[in-house]
Amino acid sequence: MDSTRSVMIEFLTRPDCSVCDDGWSTVSRWSRILRLDVDQRDITDDPSAAGYVERIPVVLVDGRPVLEGRWTSWDAARALWRARRRTKRDIEA
Protein backbone atom coordinates (compact mmCIF):
# COMPACT_ATOMS: atom_id res chain seq x y z
CA MET A 1 0.00 0.00 0.00
CA ASP A 2 1.28 3.46 -0.92
CA SER A 3 1.35 5.64 2.18
CA THR A 4 2.68 8.75 0.42
CA ARG A 5 0.57 11.82 -0.02
CA SER A 6 1.07 15.21 -1.48
CA VAL A 7 -0.14 18.48 -0.08
CA MET A 8 -3.12 20.17 -1.65
CA ILE A 9 -2.32 23.71 -2.74
CA GLU A 10 -5.07 26.05 -3.87
CA PHE A 11 -4.98 29.61 -5.15
CA LEU A 12 -8.21 31.48 -4.43
CA THR A 13 -9.01 34.31 -6.82
CA ARG A 14 -11.86 36.25 -8.42
CA PRO A 15 -12.40 37.97 -11.78
CA ASP A 16 -11.13 41.51 -12.38
CA CYS A 17 -8.64 41.39 -9.52
CA SER A 18 -5.24 42.77 -10.55
CA VAL A 19 -3.68 41.74 -7.22
CA CYS A 20 -4.93 38.19 -7.91
CA ASP A 21 -3.45 38.25 -11.42
CA ASP A 22 -0.07 39.33 -10.04
CA GLY A 23 -0.29 36.75 -7.26
CA TRP A 24 -1.17 33.95 -9.69
CA SER A 25 1.74 34.88 -11.93
CA THR A 26 4.10 34.65 -8.95
CA VAL A 27 2.62 31.44 -7.51
CA SER A 28 2.51 29.67 -10.87
CA ARG A 29 6.14 30.60 -11.60
CA TRP A 30 7.36 29.27 -8.21
CA SER A 31 5.17 26.18 -8.44
CA ARG A 32 6.79 25.29 -11.79
CA ILE A 33 10.26 25.79 -10.32
CA LEU A 34 9.42 23.68 -7.26
CA ARG A 35 7.40 21.13 -9.26
CA LEU A 36 4.19 21.58 -7.31
CA ASP A 37 0.62 21.39 -8.51
CA VAL A 38 -1.54 24.36 -7.63
CA ASP A 39 -5.28 24.46 -8.30
CA GLN A 40 -6.75 27.84 -9.10
CA ARG A 41 -10.25 28.40 -7.67
CA ASP A 42 -12.61 31.27 -8.43
CA ILE A 43 -14.31 32.15 -5.15
CA THR A 44 -17.31 33.62 -6.96
CA ASP A 45 -18.17 30.07 -8.07
CA ASP A 46 -17.76 28.58 -4.61
CA PRO A 47 -20.08 29.58 -1.75
CA SER A 48 -17.86 27.73 0.73
CA ALA A 49 -15.07 30.23 0.01
CA ALA A 50 -17.16 33.29 0.89
CA GLY A 51 -15.07 33.92 4.00
CA TYR A 52 -12.08 34.74 1.80
CA VAL A 53 -13.71 37.54 -0.24
CA GLU A 54 -11.91 40.36 1.59
CA ARG A 55 -8.62 38.44 1.85
CA ILE A 56 -7.94 37.35 -1.72
CA PRO A 57 -5.74 36.35 -3.28
CA VAL A 58 -5.25 33.51 -0.84
CA VAL A 59 -3.00 30.47 -1.06
CA LEU A 60 -4.19 27.47 0.92
CA VAL A 61 -2.01 24.49 1.81
CA ASP A 62 -4.10 21.56 2.94
CA GLY A 63 -6.98 23.98 3.55
CA ARG A 64 -5.00 26.40 5.73
CA PRO A 65 -4.17 29.92 4.49
CA VAL A 66 -0.43 30.51 4.10
CA LEU A 67 -0.59 33.70 2.01
CA GLU A 68 -3.30 36.38 1.94
CA GLY A 69 -3.70 39.70 0.16
CA ARG A 70 -0.50 41.24 -1.16
CA TRP A 71 2.78 39.41 -0.80
CA THR A 72 6.20 39.42 -2.39
CA SER A 73 7.68 36.83 -4.68
CA TRP A 74 9.91 35.71 -1.82
CA ASP A 75 6.91 35.26 0.47
CA ALA A 76 5.36 32.96 -2.15
CA ALA A 77 8.63 31.09 -2.64
CA ARG A 78 8.99 30.50 1.09
CA ALA A 79 5.39 29.30 1.51
CA LEU A 80 5.60 26.96 -1.49
CA TRP A 81 9.03 25.67 -0.45
CA ARG A 82 7.57 24.75 2.94
CA ALA A 83 4.70 22.96 1.19
CA ARG A 84 7.21 21.09 -0.99
CA ARG A 85 9.23 20.06 2.06
CA ARG A 86 6.06 18.69 3.66
CA THR A 87 5.42 16.64 0.53
CA LYS A 88 8.99 15.36 0.45
CA ARG A 89 8.91 14.43 4.17
CA ASP A 90 5.66 12.55 3.63
CA ILE A 91 7.15 10.62 0.72
CA GLU A 92 10.32 9.73 2.65
CA ALA A 93 8.37 8.65 5.75
Q: Tell me how far CA of residue 84 lies from CA of 4, 46, 67, in angstroms.
A: 13, 26, 15
Query: How big is the chain, counted in residues?
Result: 93
Percent of the chain predicted with pLDDT > 70: 87
Cβ atoms of 73 and 33 within 8 Å: the answer is no
For residue 85, the enclosing domain spans: 9-92
Residue 27: the pLDDT is 97
**Alpha helix (H) residue ranges in the chain:** 18-34, 73-92
- CATH number of the domain enclosing 26: 3.40.30.10
d(CA 18, CA 81): 24
Within a domain: residue 4?
Answer: no
Count structural domains, the chain: 1
Within a domain: residue 2?
Answer: no
Within a domain: residue 19?
Answer: yes
Q: Which of 78, 59, 56 is nearest to 69 (CA)?
A: 56
pLDDT at 59 over 60: yes
Q: Which residue has the higher pLDDT, 28 or 88?
A: 28
- For the stretch 15-57, pLDDT in tens is 999 999 999 999 999 999 999 999 999 999 888 888 898 999 9
